Amino acid sequence: MSRSALSPDGDGLRLMHVHAHPDDESSKGAATTAKYVAEGVAVMVATCTGGERGSVLNPAMDRPEIWADMPRIREQEMRRARAILGVQQVSLGYVDSGLPEGEDPDPLPEGCFGLMDPEAAAAPLVRAIRSFRPQVVTTYDEHGGYPHPDHVQCHRVTMAALRQAADPQLFPEYGPAWTVDKLYYQLGFNRKRFAALDAEMRRRGLESPYSERLAAWENFDYEQRITTRVDCADYFEVRDDALRAHASQIDPNGQWFAIPLDIQKAVWPTEDYQLVYSLVPVCLPEDDLFTGLRSQSRRPQLADLLVS
């Protein structure tokens, strides 16, 4: 393990990402993940659901046998992606809620993740946090990054789990209480980033895939909330390889890969986050999720400082 991946007491630095579905770990913050793995940081992905109700978005795989075997397909894809990223991964075991669509969408299916009590659903994540003991956790903001019921629920469950994991009175069977030092929201889907990529594509005389998305964009909040930009352009290829591993979910000829990598690296070489709370001193803006943890001693406290 490299010296840069050691915390002040000599223990290793550990990062946990909490995601809703298989493929989210590869589409949100994956280059950051690859960067820290390369530096010797231990990274764990906690995946809330199996993605059983995901759509087949790759035309080459849109076949009846794929739809019929979706749980196994998603598990296999997740296995390939985590190997590419070099991460540990734990599945919390909940059932995908699906994405309600249309003017009069069907109600969420009984027993799905989105309908669970977040305080109760947090239990397996508490166990994972106490076992892995991350100093840093990332997840989605209160709106889920976008209004998918599983993404919103992922936020709620993560917040509940952080509180519960820090309380020694709860779940003693899961091991000693653990307080996470820093929590971040992933804010990669901010308008300013897409607008910059769009502008450079047009400047080079190339067709941008983002024109309609930008014209319809209504939420300008995220670009104002960014506190932390991690320079990870050297790992965009790893990110894309991990995303392609989710072959049923990703069209290799679609928008995800429409912007040449040289443009992405030149125009927006970072992945972006909002620091929600920190139990160690920091000075904003940051360029490292472990700012304050490489040179400061841990200060374990109850997580009653969480902002939900």
Tell me which residue has tokens 């290793």.
Answer: 12
- Please say if the pLDDT value at position 249 is more than 60: yes
Nearest to 303 by CA among 279, 274, 281, 276: 279
Query: How many of the other CB atoms lie within 10 Å of CB of 244?
Result: 19
Extract the tokens encoding 165.
């994991």
User: pTM of this prediction?
Assistant: 0.91
Annotated binding site for Zn(2+): 21, 24, 151
Extract the tokens encoding 280.
């160690």
- Please say if the pLDDT value at position 207 is more than 80: yes
- Please say if the pLDDT value at position 186 is more than 90: yes
Residue 84: what pLDDT? 98
Nearest to 291 by CA among 9, 13, 11: 13
Mean pLDDT for 199-228 is: 93
Contacts of 223 (CB under 8 A, 6+ apart): 187, 190, 191, 192, 193
As a whole number, the mean pLDDT across the chain is: 91
Query: How many of the other CB atoms lie within 10 Å of CB of 49?
Result: 26
Residue 102: what pLDDT? 65
Extract the tokens encoding 192.
């300013």
Domains within the chain, CATH numbers bracketed: 3-189+223-278 (3.40.50.10320)
Extract the tokens encoding 91.
């599945």
Nearest to 250 by CA among 241, 261, 237, 238: 241
Residue 266: what pLDDT? 98
Distance of alpha carbon 240 from its chain centroid, rounded? 15
Residue 239: what pLDDT? 98
- Please say if the pLDDT value at position 86 is more than 50: yes
Alpha-carbon distance of 105 to 180, in angstroms, equals 38
- Please say if the pLDDT value at position 306 is more than 80: no
Annotated binding site: 21, 24, 151
- What is the residue type of 240? D
pLDDT bracket for residue 162 (50, 70, 90): very high
Instruction: Answer with the residue of higher pLDDT: 25 or 102.
Output: 25
Nearest to 267 by CA among 193, 208, 188: 193
pLDDT bracket for residue 83 (50, 70, 90): very high
Mean pLDDT for 249-275 is: 95
Q: Is residue 16 within 8 Å of residue 135, measured between CB atoms?
A: no
Question: Which tens digit of pLDDT belongs to each residue from 46-62?
Answer: 999 998 887 787 888 77
Nearest to 277 by CA among 169, 195, 121, 159: 159
Mean pLDDT for 282-289 is: 96
Alpha-carbon distance of 139 to 184, in angstroms, equals 6
Q: Is residue 278 within 8 Å of residue 143, measured between CB atoms?
A: no
Mean pLDDT for 288-306 is: 66
Distance of alpha carbon 275 from its chain centroid, rounded? 14
